[in-house]
Amino acid sequence: MTGPLLRTESLTKGFTLHLRGGLRLPVLGGVNLSVDAGECVVLSGPSGAGKSTLLRSLYGNYRADTGRILVQHLGRTVDIATADPRTILAVRHHTMGYVSQFLRVVPRVPALDIVAEALPGREASADARREQAAAMLLSLNIPRRLHSIPPATFSGGEQQRVNLARGFITGHPILLLDEPTASLDADNRAVVVHMIQQAKARGTAIIAICHDLDVRDQIADRLFPVQPYREAA
């Protein structure tokens, strides 16, 4: 199948502030975005412009108001903007991964199991899945002594690396990254940049938010400007 792995057509999104008497706050207006296999598109624009809202809309966390979000999923095109919850979950399982800035997991579950659980499919044994998860954690400089510990006790940078391990281990064709290096030191930023470059080489389509200009310049094939919404005059 040729063409973009993900594209939007005239996508709009706003929020209703119920505590402000139903005031309508528009955020995104007429977004037309596309990303091809092996390409990294970095969303650019000022804070508050709607970059995170766009990323969450692409993933189906926010329902679009109008427009389409077209994803190539298992040989067919799915419109996330109108898909039912079961279809959205299937897209997340097989096709589109998401790495947020913050790790949100079930308490008291060891880091190793958190990463192993993200692997799609159940063909491999539990031991094989944990072995793959351990290798991913080690590649992100999480030492084995931490693998059996729940990551709620980890530093912010360690938690972010567990989150990255969950996102990258799946090998999804589409990957959404929200500030993937925000809490990392220089050495670990370099590791993540290399992982992104490897994913691109495998054909992964990536959309990222990245305020670190050095990292952005190393991973971006192009920038997509997101500007604060303005009502037409």
- Asked whether residue 53 is assigned to any structural domain, the reply reads yes
Report the half-sphere exposure of 115 (CA within 13 A, side-chain side): 34
CATH of the domain at 220: 3.40.50.300
Confidence of residue 48 (pLDDT cuts 50, 70, 90): confident
Percent of the chain with pLDDT over 90: 81
Among 51, 100, 58, 55, CA closest to 80 = 58
Q: Exposed, middle or buried, 161 (CB in 10 Å: 0-12/13-18/19+)? A: buried
- Asked whether residue 196 is assigned to any structural domain, the reply reads no
216 and 43 in contact (C-beta within 8 Å)? no
Can you give the length of the chain in residues? 233
- Asked whether residue 158 is assigned to any structural domain, the reply reads no
Report strand pairing: 23-31 vs 34-35: unpaired
- Asked whether residue 77 is assigned to any structural domain, the reply reads yes
What pLDDT score was predicted for residue 2? 65
- Asked whether residue 20 is assigned to any structural domain, the reply reads no
Is the pLDDT reported for residue 231 higher than 60? no
- Asked whether residue 232 is assigned to any structural domain, the reply reads yes
- Asked whether residue 57 is assigned to any structural domain, the reply reads yes
| Residue tagged 């929200």 (tokens) | 178
Provide the 8-state DSSP code for 75: T
- Three-class DSSP category at 201: helix
- Asked whether residue 173 is assigned to any structural domain, the reply reads no
108 and 150 in contact (C-beta within 8 Å)? yes
What pLDDT score was predicted for residue 89? 96
Q: Give the helix ranges, DSSP H, for the chain.
A: 51-59, 85-94, 111-117, 126-139, 156-169, 186-201, 213-219
In sequence order, the 6+-apart residues with CB closer than 8 A to the CB of 143 are none
Q: How many domains does the chain have?
A: 1
Please give the residue range of the domain that contains residue 43: 1-15+25-95+205-233
What is d(CA 45, CA 232) in angstroms, rounded to the nearest whole number? 19
Q: pTM here?
A: 0.93
| Span 81-139, pLDDT tens digits | 999 999 999 999 999 999 998 888 778 999 999 999 998 776 678 899 999 999 999 99
For 67, phi then psi, to 5°, come to 95, -175
| Span 165-223, pLDDT tens digits | 999 999 999 999 999 999 999 999 999 999 999 999 999 999 999 999 999 999 999 99
